[in-house]
Structure 1
Amino acid sequence: MDIEADCAAATRNILLAAESIGLGACWINLTLFAFTGEQGEQYKQQLDVPAGYKPFSSVALGYKKIETVKAPPRKENLINYIK
Protein backbone atom coordinates (compact mmCIF):
# COMPACT_ATOMS: atom_id res chain seq x y z
CA MET A 1 0.00 0.00 0.00
CA ASP A 2 1.39 3.39 -0.99
CA ILE A 3 0.52 5.82 1.81
CA GLU A 4 1.57 8.90 -0.15
CA ALA A 5 -0.75 7.98 -3.04
CA ASP A 6 -3.61 7.30 -0.61
CA CYS A 7 -3.09 10.69 1.05
CA ALA A 8 -2.95 12.42 -2.33
CA ALA A 9 -6.23 10.77 -3.35
CA ALA A 10 -7.87 11.74 -0.05
CA THR A 11 -6.66 15.33 -0.47
CA ARG A 12 -8.08 15.44 -3.99
CA ASN A 13 -11.43 14.18 -2.67
CA ILE A 14 -11.45 16.90 0.00
CA LEU A 15 -10.81 19.55 -2.67
CA LEU A 16 -13.60 18.19 -4.89
CA ALA A 17 -16.03 17.92 -1.96
CA ALA A 18 -15.29 21.50 -0.88
CA GLU A 19 -15.92 22.77 -4.42
CA SER A 20 -19.19 20.83 -4.62
CA ILE A 21 -20.57 22.70 -1.59
CA GLY A 22 -19.33 26.10 -2.71
CA LEU A 23 -16.19 26.41 -0.61
CA GLY A 24 -12.83 27.51 -1.90
CA ALA A 25 -10.04 25.03 -1.28
CA CYS A 26 -6.31 24.97 -1.91
CA TRP A 27 -3.87 22.10 -1.49
CA ILE A 28 -0.77 23.21 0.40
CA ASN A 29 2.35 21.16 -0.37
CA LEU A 30 4.48 23.10 2.12
CA THR A 31 3.35 20.63 4.79
CA LEU A 32 6.00 18.09 3.79
CA PHE A 33 8.76 20.67 4.08
CA ALA A 34 7.46 22.17 7.32
CA PHE A 35 7.22 18.88 9.21
CA THR A 36 10.50 17.44 7.94
CA GLY A 37 12.49 20.64 8.53
CA GLU A 38 14.39 21.77 11.60
CA GLN A 39 11.26 22.82 13.49
CA GLY A 40 9.16 19.83 12.38
CA GLU A 41 8.95 18.22 15.81
CA GLN A 42 8.01 21.55 17.39
CA TYR A 43 5.17 21.99 14.87
CA LYS A 44 3.91 18.47 15.56
CA GLN A 45 3.82 19.19 19.31
CA GLN A 46 2.02 22.52 18.81
CA LEU A 47 -0.63 20.84 16.65
CA ASP A 48 -0.92 17.73 18.87
CA VAL A 49 0.04 15.35 16.05
CA PRO A 50 0.22 11.90 17.69
CA ALA A 51 3.59 10.15 17.87
CA GLY A 52 4.26 8.00 14.82
CA TYR A 53 2.08 10.09 12.51
CA LYS A 54 3.57 11.90 9.53
CA PRO A 55 1.60 14.80 8.01
CA PHE A 56 1.63 14.58 4.19
CA SER A 57 -0.57 17.41 3.00
CA SER A 58 -2.87 20.13 4.17
CA VAL A 59 -5.81 21.98 2.70
CA ALA A 60 -6.86 25.58 3.25
CA LEU A 61 -10.65 26.01 3.17
CA GLY A 62 -12.70 29.16 3.03
CA TYR A 63 -15.54 31.06 1.47
CA LYS A 64 -14.91 32.33 -2.05
CA LYS A 65 -14.81 36.04 -2.65
CA ILE A 66 -15.89 35.61 -6.27
CA GLU A 67 -18.35 33.39 -8.09
CA THR A 68 -17.14 30.29 -9.87
CA VAL A 69 -16.68 30.70 -13.60
CA LYS A 70 -18.96 28.36 -15.52
CA ALA A 71 -17.46 26.23 -18.26
CA PRO A 72 -18.89 26.80 -21.74
CA PRO A 73 -21.59 24.32 -22.77
CA ARG A 74 -20.34 21.18 -24.46
CA LYS A 75 -21.13 20.46 -28.09
CA GLU A 76 -23.43 17.46 -28.25
CA ASN A 77 -22.55 14.41 -30.33
CA LEU A 78 -18.98 15.57 -30.92
CA ILE A 79 -16.19 13.01 -30.54
CA ASN A 80 -12.48 13.68 -30.99
CA TYR A 81 -10.03 10.84 -31.61
CA ILE A 82 -6.36 11.45 -30.92
CA LYS A 83 -3.96 8.97 -32.50
Structure 2
Amino acid sequence: MQSWPVQDAKARFSEFLEKCLTDGPQMVTRRGAEAAVLVAADEWRRLQAQARPTLKELLLSDEARADIPVPARGVVKSRRPPVLR
Protein backbone atom coordinates (compact mmCIF):
# COMPACT_ATOMS: atom_id res chain seq x y z
CA MET A 1 0.00 0.00 0.00
CA GLN A 2 1.49 3.30 -1.08
CA SER A 3 1.48 6.21 1.34
CA TRP A 4 0.60 9.75 0.21
CA PRO A 5 0.99 12.95 2.24
CA VAL A 6 -2.33 14.80 2.27
CA GLN A 7 -0.87 17.71 0.26
CA ASP A 8 0.23 15.34 -2.55
CA ALA A 9 -3.09 13.49 -2.51
CA LYS A 10 -4.95 16.79 -2.93
CA ALA A 11 -2.60 18.20 -5.57
CA ARG A 12 -2.48 15.00 -7.66
CA PHE A 13 -5.91 13.55 -6.93
CA SER A 14 -6.43 12.06 -10.41
CA GLU A 15 -3.17 10.13 -10.12
CA PHE A 16 -4.04 9.18 -6.52
CA LEU A 17 -7.43 7.82 -7.64
CA GLU A 18 -5.93 5.96 -10.61
CA LYS A 19 -3.35 4.29 -8.33
CA CYS A 20 -6.17 3.21 -6.03
CA LEU A 21 -8.09 1.63 -8.91
CA THR A 22 -5.05 -0.14 -10.40
CA ASP A 23 -2.77 -0.92 -7.43
CA GLY A 24 -5.26 -1.21 -4.57
CA PRO A 25 -5.89 0.84 -1.41
CA GLN A 26 -3.81 4.01 -0.92
CA MET A 27 -2.89 5.43 2.51
CA VAL A 28 -3.14 9.17 3.22
CA THR A 29 -0.90 10.59 5.94
CA ARG A 30 -1.18 13.86 7.84
CA ARG A 31 2.02 15.12 9.47
CA GLY A 32 3.52 11.65 9.04
CA ALA A 33 0.69 9.82 10.83
CA GLU A 34 -1.76 7.53 9.01
CA ALA A 35 -5.06 9.38 8.59
CA ALA A 36 -7.21 7.68 5.95
CA VAL A 37 -7.31 5.08 3.18
CA LEU A 38 -8.74 5.46 -0.32
CA VAL A 39 -10.37 2.19 -1.40
CA ALA A 40 -12.12 1.30 -4.66
CA ALA A 41 -15.93 1.22 -4.43
CA ASP A 42 -16.16 -2.52 -5.25
CA GLU A 43 -13.66 -3.34 -2.51
CA TRP A 44 -15.56 -1.11 -0.05
CA ARG A 45 -18.86 -2.89 -0.80
CA ARG A 46 -17.18 -6.28 -0.36
CA LEU A 47 -15.73 -5.23 3.00
CA GLN A 48 -19.09 -3.83 4.14
CA ALA A 49 -20.95 -7.03 3.23
CA GLN A 50 -18.30 -9.12 4.94
CA ALA A 51 -18.54 -7.09 8.16
CA ARG A 52 -22.35 -7.34 8.37
CA PRO A 53 -23.56 -10.36 10.38
CA THR A 54 -26.08 -12.71 8.81
CA LEU A 55 -29.60 -13.10 10.16
CA LYS A 56 -28.69 -16.56 11.42
CA GLU A 57 -25.71 -15.15 13.34
CA LEU A 58 -27.89 -12.42 14.85
CA LEU A 59 -30.57 -14.88 15.96
CA LEU A 60 -28.06 -17.30 17.48
CA SER A 61 -26.08 -14.57 19.23
CA ASP A 62 -26.06 -14.43 23.03
CA GLU A 63 -25.73 -10.65 23.02
CA ALA A 64 -28.63 -8.29 22.58
CA ARG A 65 -28.24 -6.00 19.56
CA ALA A 66 -30.30 -3.21 21.14
CA ASP A 67 -32.18 -2.42 24.28
CA ILE A 68 -35.92 -2.69 23.90
CA PRO A 69 -37.68 -0.22 26.17
CA VAL A 70 -40.43 -1.92 28.12
CA PRO A 71 -42.87 0.44 29.81
CA ALA A 72 -43.38 -0.05 33.52
CA ARG A 73 -46.46 -2.01 34.41
CA GLY A 74 -49.18 0.02 36.01
CA VAL A 75 -51.91 -0.97 38.36
CA VAL A 76 -54.62 -2.56 36.28
CA LYS A 77 -58.01 -3.33 37.70
CA SER A 78 -59.02 -6.85 36.93
CA ARG A 79 -62.34 -7.54 35.25
CA ARG A 80 -64.56 -10.48 35.75
CA PRO A 81 -64.91 -12.57 32.63
CA PRO A 82 -68.38 -12.62 31.11
CA VAL A 83 -70.58 -15.56 32.02
CA LEU A 84 -71.08 -17.88 29.10
CA ARG A 85 -74.42 -19.66 28.81
TM-score after normalising by structure 1 = 0.21
Instruction: Determine which structure has greater relative contact order: mean sequence separation of CA pairs < 8 Å that are 6+ residues apart, divided by chain length.
Output: 1
Highest Rg: 1 or 2?
2
TM-score after normalising by structure 2 = 0.20
